[in-house]
Amino acid sequence: MVRATGVLLILAGGLYGATAANEAMRCIHGRSADDEIRHCTAAIESGGLPDAGLAVVLGRRCVAWGEKHEYARGLPDCERAVELAPHSALQLYSRGWARFYSGNLDGAMFDSEQAIHLDPNIAMAYTGRAFIWKERGEYNQAIQDYSEALRLRPDGATYCRRGWCYVHKGDYDSAKPDFDEAIRRGYGGYAYYSRGLCYIHELDYSRAMADLDQAIRLKPNYAWAYSSRAWVFSQRREYDLAIRDYTQALRLAPGAENYEGRARAYFHKGAYDLALWDFARAWWHVWVPLVLVVGLLYILVFRKAKRTESPTGDDLEPLIEPPDVEDIDLDVLIRTGMRDRVAVGYLEDLLREAGIPFFVMDQNAAARQESGNIAGWWAVRVPHEREAEAREIIRAVEEMK
């Protein structure tokens, strides 16, 4: 209907050349969005179109850009088409869609209402305004506009959209008949999936599973149908089947919800390592920034404080820590003549600066007996290959004392 109206407007405008006429007709009846854009552009650049015909061609190119999801590129064409034909409900409707998908909801609402005012029988304008109501969470208004659009031109997609407004309101009894009608009118895969979710909310898992199976059969690449069916499998404690469907959903559309769902299935199976890995991938956007922030604070604050403050008896305990490299054998015990905790803290800083792994002994009675240092003198363990260097640093600290 829309394309036939465009053709009539072009013919009524009286084209001024065969090239413009041919390109305009191909623009309206293009085989694809790219084909339409190419012919529309040729018709516009020919300069042989009157204002009425030019408005139609610009509007069609705007819609073609929208079919490619490049609404920002199409919007200037719609703007120009409305300037040329300000009383065309069709051009206002098209600009409303371009504005909607460009994020201008107020502008889209204005265009939809103007289109309805100019032509109260244009079903598409009611559908466009219903989209805006739904985006704003005004589901009652959206249902009212979808109902008017269905009165003027019933179709499966609009029944399905109205059904989803009922779903958002939690009115599943009203939603299911709309999905039933959408299925009857051939809008199958998505409608089966939608009705299956209604059954899930009603805890009728058998009917939900039947609808989700049918949705997957009709739309085998629809990720949400797999993840919803996986959730039902989990509720039935069929965790292997749940993992299978979550994995397929992740292949089609990786997302945190599917990783988390699969992680729960792994957890219930006792595969805790796989569950932990999936939980990590589900929540990476939370824990990665947290780890980075904590690490930065540690570097900027705590490490600086440890290097600039002299340790007291209370401060010494955090300074005594195992070696940084666990796989290096600390096989040499060097006895020192130091008793002073401050000197030992300074010694630790020097060993760290030199990159020598170490462990200070004699911090409690057990360690004191292990080292044979009953008198309470300090002793340090270091790797054999770093012994000479460590002894030089220890001797320098002892001489300072």
User: What is the tens place of the pLDDT at every residue in 272-312?
Assistant: 888 888 888 887 666 566 556 666 665 666 555 555 554 44
> In whole angstroms, what is the distance from residue 57 CA to residue 214 CA?
41
The string of DSSP letters for 244-298 reads: HHHHHHHHHS--HHHHHHHHHHHHHHT-HHHHHHHHHHHTHHHHHHHHHHHHHHI
CB neighbourhood size of 119 (10 A):
17
Over residues 173-195, mean pLDDT? 94
Between the alpha carbon of residue 171 and those of residues 190, 201, 232, 242, the distances in Å are 18, 10, 21, 28
CB atoms within 10 A of CB 343: 17
Q: What is the reported pLDDT for 400?
A: 67
Of 183, 138, 139, nearest in space to 159 by CA: 183
> Stretch 8-23: mean pLDDT, rounded?
54
Mean pLDDT, the chain, integer: 81
Q: Give the Å distances, CA to CA, from 49 to 20, 77, 290.
A: 7, 15, 61
Q: In the numeric block, which tokens belong to residue 108?
A: 């889209």
d(CA 214, CA 185): 16
pLDDT score recorded for residue 377: 59
> Of all residues in the chain, what percent carry a pLDDT higher than 90?
45
Q: Tens digit of pLDDT for each residue in 358-371?
A: 777 654 444 444 44
Q: Per the structure block, which two tokens stand in for 247?
A: 């994995």
What pLDDT sits at residue 147? 97
- Residue 173 has a pLDDT of 95
pLDDT value at position 53? Answer: 87
Choose between 319 and 211: higher pLDDT: 211
Q: What would the mean pLDDT of 169-178 be, rounded to a whole number? A: 95
The confidence score (pLDDT) of residue 196 equals 96
Per-residue pLDDT for 341 more than 80?
no
Instruction: Please say if the pLDDT value at position 16 is more than 50.
Output: no
| Total-model pTM | 0.65
Please report the sign of the dihedral spanned by the C-alpha atoms of residue 390, residue 392, residue 395, residue 401: negative
Top pLDDT among 293 and 209 is at 209
Summarize the confidence of residues 195-217 as an average pLDDT.
95
- Residue 384 near residue 399 (C-beta atoms within 8 A): no
Q: Is 352 exposed, middle or buried (0-12, 13-18, 19+ CB in 10 A)?
A: middle
Mean pLDDT of 314-341: 54
Q: What is the pLDDT of residues 76-116, one digit of tens each?
A: 999 999 999 999 999 999 999 899 988 899 999 999 999 99
Top pLDDT among 140 and 290 is at: 140
Q: What per-residue confidence (pLDDT) applies to 288?
A: 61
Residue 327 has pLDDT above 50, yes or no: no
Comparing 167-176, 210-219, 376-385, the range with the smallest average pLDDT is 376-385
